[in-house]
Structure 1
């Protein structure tokens, strides 16, 4: 009997130690998977963690602050919506092209990156949320430039960011005004092309351009009367299997607009 009890106690001890070890390993894995506190704290009971892709620099909608934290209007809206709807997520700052590719390849579930809702994108497979911010696109030149409008661009190089509405706007004007388009992968490089003289102007979303000029103390100026009608930004998915995420975003967006949280986020970054 004593031998049987001893064996039973030993087995229990081994099982207990193994359970503790598995718990610690699980916690280590969870800690390693966290990214800059961008995961929602609320848990609906589901193990699903939605992967949301974003741009790297599209200030004030997404950017890295002085402390190295990924912040911005889009980042805060996702956090507020996730808290309201009680889902878990991981946000990945990939860059515009890479974020889009990740979503289309199924490596990310959704995209939020100041993406304008357009018919062309809908026709190509984008599934958009309700709009969360209305933005126009406009033309910017050097602070001491003598260019005053589109007519002054003939035979000159104009910078745009690949795949954006700013690029689409420039492309719609190119033939009429006879200028050349030079494509860049990100906004800061595009701005430097204008500052360095490789291009005489660039096209960018108006709030992004205004924020970049102010915060970066850039020697650039937005030309009046060059903005288009604009379109709302939307959260997007590229697979109908992720419709649940889109529905939760819409429901959460409506709630944070109603309770004032949305206005707080906009005021925090745009005043």
Structure 2
């Protein structure tokens, strides 16, 4: 009997240690400056649509995590090396990215739009960017889009949104081209009266949550996303951060 008790206790200890090891704290990377998806609030803590969406997903999935802010161009490499477990930063689902990391189901539909100074009258569409200096964000879809356009005088690459917008307002660039919700938010807030959005939506895109290849988290996150959309929680978050309801598909 004593041997049996010792065996049971030993097995329980082993199982307990294994459970502790498997329930590791996930490293969740996000952009440092991608308002309204992620940004530092007045209290010094990061907030935004992506941050609160992940909080809701993690609660349903039952995972422990810590947020890791970093420049956007470091997130995909971090997922590839396994230094990052999850990336949520308005990451466009593109074939070249999907070849090296796994993605969740799409959670936001976006695209690119042009931002110019308020008094600009000569730029109304991408064709008008020929011979112009255009500010773009490093390692984003806007860089690929402008390279494929191929007619800009110069592409100025910046690591974060603020740098792009300040360059435009200071006259160092003729336009910014970047993700629609971000340029619209800036034009309505900090850039109000100084900049404006022009032209149509280019290159319709979907954002997905990124994972290392083969991650077991993908299915759990997709299930959580479906639940949040079904119970109305996703819509409430969307309205909170964008001011309007998402389009129903």
TM-score normalised by the chain length of structure 2: 0.84
| Partner residue in 2 for 1:143 | 118
Structure in which a larger fraction of residues adopt helix: 1
2:158 equivalent among 180, 184, 197: 184
The match for 1:262 is 234
The structure richer in strand per residue is: 2
C-alpha contact (below 8 Å) 1:138/1:166 kept by paired residues: no
- Unpaired runs of 5+ in structure 2? 1-18, 244-249
Residue 93 of structure 1 aligns to a residue in which SS? strand
Unaligned regions of 5+ residues in structure 1, if any? 1-42
State the Cα deviation string for residues 181-219 of structure 1 (Å, max 9, x = none): 111111110111111111100111001111122221341
Q: Deviations over 1:78-100 (max 9, x none)?
A: 11011111111111111212333
Contact 2:133 2:152 (8 Å CA) reproduced: no
Query: Contact conserved, 2:80 with 2:101, CA < 8 A, in 1?
Result: no
Q: Which residue pairs with 1:27 in the alignment?
A: none
Q: Which residue of structure 2 lines up, in the alignment, with residue 207 of structure 1? A: 181
Partner SS state of residue 105, structure 2:
strand
Partner of 2:3: none
Q: How many residue pairs align between the two structures?
A: 223
- Deviation string, structure 1 residues 9-33 (Cα, Å, up to 9, x no partner): xxxxxxxxxxxxxxxxxxxxxxxxx
> Which whole-Å deviations, capped at 9, do the CAs of 1:196-247 have from their partners, x for residues lacking one?
111100111001111122221341111122x21411100011232xx22111
Bigger-Rg structure (1/2): 1
Which stretches of structure 1, 4 residues or more, deviate above 6 A after TM superposition?
Answer: none
Give the 3 Å change call, closer, same or farther, for CA 45–120 of structure 1 in structure 2: closer
Question: What's the TM-score, normalizing by structure 1?
Answer: 0.77
Checking the alignment, whether the CA contact within 8 Å between 2:117 and 2:196 is kept in structure 1 is yes
Spell out the pairing of 1:1-271 with structure 2 (5 A cutoff): 47-123=23-99, 125-146=100-121, 147-174=123-150, 177-218=151-192, 219-225=194-200, 227-240=201-214, 243-271=215-243
Partners of 1:160 and 1:202 within 8 A in 2: yes
CA-CA distance at 1:178 after TM superposition = 4.3
3-state SS of the aligned residue for 2:237? helix
